[in-house]
Amino acid sequence: MKKFVICLVALVFVTTLASVTFGRTIAEERQAVRDYLNEVDAKLATAKQANNKERVRLLHAEKSATLARWNKLRAEMEVVQAPVPVPPTVVIVQQPAPRPVPVVKKDTKAVGRGVALYVNGGLDAGLTGFSGNLDYDLSGLPAQGLKLRIGGNYISGTNPVAGDIVKAVSAKLGFLYYITPYMPDMSLPLSWYIGGAYLYPVMVNAGRTGQGGQYGLEAYLGTNFNIAEMGIVNFELGYSELKYSSAQTALKGIDLKIGYGIVF
């Protein structure tokens, strides 16, 4: 009787230990690993879009380690959860597990990050213009995807309204907000943003520097096309106004620019 009680206690202990260690089936473990790999793939796609090489490398390493742990755990669980032998007349065909499909989650907290430098040119208020911009990441603030833009514009041409020749250099201060999650990506590495800036003419031809009432405004929709290992091709479409002289009508017109940028 005493030996029977000892054997019964040992059986209960082993059963309890097995239920704690292998409480989930292979299918449940496989689904948990698949969900986690989907999250890693989503982070990997975002890191590639932001050209963050170090984060891409870390995420690849994390993915490989997860797969290695899963293969080891699956081998152990298959030993414990081996199927009960069936009569020879019964044939069980086990379908292969479907390959996990990566799900890219668009995240406003990740897109558009980094400090970037852009140089572009084209039309500025309808005249020939060039600009240089430094975009500084402000994602630590409550408004994720926000950037500060500091830069300068150069514009040259004839004011179509006043008829005078304009050559002006303006300082720029503005903001960008990345709207990539709400725009079509067309299966391309595109980042979309909207922005606006205040302009102040710091140098105007014909001795018109420093006159009262000088100011400028611009607003634009932009997109960045990320070329791996090369940089970013930048496009902007917008509208701007520049009051460069108290005696002349403000210059107004369409902005259409293309340029190149790098992210630090």
132-151 pLDDT, tens digit per residue, is 999 999 877 767 789 999 99
Per-residue confidence at 54, pLDDT binned at 50, 70, 90?
confident
Per-residue confidence at 209, pLDDT binned at 50, 70, 90?
very high
pLDDT the model gives residue 16:
41
pLDDT in tens, 148-201: 999 999 999 999 998 999 999 999 999 999 998 888 878 889 999 999 999 999
pTM listed for this prediction:
0.57
pLDDT the model gives residue 86:
61
pLDDT the model gives residue 111:
44
Structure tokens at 8: 């019964």
Output the average pLDDT for the chain: 81
Least confident of 46-50, 78-82, 181-185: 78-82
Per-residue confidence at 92, pLDDT binned at 50, 70, 90?
confident
Residues 116-263, CATH architecture: Beta Barrel (2.40)
Q: For residues 70 and 144, what is the distance between their CA atoms, to the nearest angstrom?
A: 35
Q: Which residue has the higher pLDDT, 184 or 17?
A: 184
Q: Hey, where are the domains in the chain?
A: 2-80, 116-263
Looking at residue 211, what DSSP letter applies? -
Do 177 and 144 contact (CB within 8 A), yes or no?
Answer: no
Q: Which residues of 184-216 are buried (b: 16+ CB within 10 A; e: fewer)?
A: eeeeebbbbbebebebebeebeeebeeeeebeb
Whether the per-residue pLDDT at 37 is higher than 80: the answer is: no
Per-residue confidence at 81, pLDDT binned at 50, 70, 90?
low
Q: Which residue has the higher pLDDT, 259 or 52?
A: 259
For residue 84, report the phi and psi dihedrals to the nearest 5 degrees: -70, 130
pLDDT the model gives residue 46:
81
